[in-house]
Amino acid sequence: MGEAPRGSRGRTGAVKPGAAGGAALPTVRGWLVLAGGAALLAAGAAFGYRELIVLGAVPFAVLVVSVVLVGRLRPMRVWRSVPAPRVSPGDEIEVLLGTAEDGRGRGAHLLADRVSGPTGTRSVELPAARPGDSGPVGYRLVAERRGVLDLGPLESRRRDPLGLVATRRTSGGTERVWVHPRWDPLGTMPVGRSDDPQGVFDGGRAGSVSFHTLRDYVAGDDVRHIHWRSSARHGKLMVREHLDTSHTRLTVVADDRGGAAGDELAALDEVCGAAAAVAATSVAGRWACELRLVSGRSLESTGRLAPLLDLLAEARISADAELPEELWRLRNRPFGDTVVLVSASITGAEARLFARLGDLYPRLVLIALRSYGRPIGAIPGVTVVDARDARDLAARWDGERWSA
């Protein structure tokens, strides 16, 4: 994460963390000075040199004076503004900070805003506002890769001129910035042909809400949809699930287990980019779209793309995720007529297991990113799109014939 604080240059210093209340504590340099003073005191006492005792007491006296000079930091009220909280990799993020000090104590010499993201945590250092200054303090970040950036809390710092004692206090909350994956639009989309009881096809422009399947009752379901005859036969409550047959319904599954080889985080970035391309094209075509992660999280588009991209930005490597469990969830809660699975780590056995969903979903598509995964051959009942990465997907995808 590169940053260019406005009006200041970054400064670093090894300082031991202070207490939450802003108490003054010795820095690394301060502890070394105290250790030297203690050594002189011990030598003077052991060999009877009064001069060494006097010299050994000086560091302790200096440290006491430094503590008095630093004092305790005042509490601080903080507000933070991010004009563009959703960006893409490579974009510049502008952050504005406003502060106001409360109560008694000393003012800060330096402000440091914590930035936590996919590449780790660091601090962006800024000069504290001087008396008479008005307006917020700003800094800029470059979003290096897909992920979530948490900005804050703000840390105020103060130290003595010799660097022996320092105090820190954290103030304010955090602000979140989503770095969406990069994606290229796709020219065509797969349309499944799922006969419904009213005699129309899922994906056609004519139709209405119609019966789709029976499933177990869950808390919150409309009791008017309970199918009592089936409930009596199965010994548990069953409800009728309906779908709108006037639009194609698409399920996009992003495999957040990482890649089979190489940089797992880079592999997940490519998976999210490919999934974003499919989801974005579906939302642009006004299709109902559900985005799912193999680790279990899911979200429906409701006509908006930003929430889906937020979910992809939040995706992290999930070592505990199991693709068979996600396929089981898809089987027990069918959403539509087309499933697109994007993976950089799927095996041939898992691909054949995915093909078994063909009895519920008329169209199954597997996007296999070979730059990070294993080669996948032809799978009966599954359209396999073999792409190097998310950027290569558009050409491969548009080369397919998607007519049902």
What CATH class is the domain 2-15+73-179? mainly beta
Contacts with 301 (C-beta within 8 Å, 6 or more apart), sequence order:
279, 282, 283, 288, 289, 290, 291, 307, 308
CA–CA dist 43, 54 (Å, integer): 11
CA–CA dist 241, 246 (Å, integer): 16
What is 232-273 written as a DSSP string? HHHTS-EEEEEEETTS-EEEEEEEEEEESSS-HHHHHHHHHH
Which single residue is written with the structure tokens 């050409």? 395
CA 252 to chain CA mean position, Å: 19
Mean pLDDT across 234-259: 80
The neighbour count for residue 307, using CB atoms within 10 Å, is 12
CA 20 to chain CA mean position, Å: 27
Mean pLDDT across 63-82: 88
Is the confidence at residue 204, as pLDDT, over 90? Answer: no
Is the confidence at residue 244, as pLDDT, over 70? Answer: no
What CATH class is the domain 182-208+248-404? alpha beta
What is 156-198 written as a DSSP string? EEEE-TTSSEEEEEEES--EEEEEPPP----S-------B-TT
What per-residue confidence (pLDDT) applies to 402?
65
* pLDDT classification of 286: cutoffs 50, 70, 90: confident
Token pair listed for 220:
């919150």
Query: Half-sphere exposure (CA, 13 Å, Cβ side) for 223?
Result: 0
Bond before 153 cis per omega within 30 degrees: yes
CA–CA dist 153, 222 (Å, integer): 44
Backbone phi and psi for residue 308, each to the nearest 5 degrees, phi listed first: -65, -40
pLDDT digits (tens, 9 = 90+) for 265-276: 999 999 999 999
Q: Domain map of the chain by residue range? A: 2-15+73-179, 24-70, 182-208+248-404, 209-244
Exposed/middle/buried for residue 68 (C-beta within 10 Å: 0-12, 13-18, 19+): exposed
Average pLDDT, the chain: 83
pLDDT digits (tens, 9 = 90+) for 150-192: 999 999 888 898 999 999 888 889 999 999 999 998 987 776 5
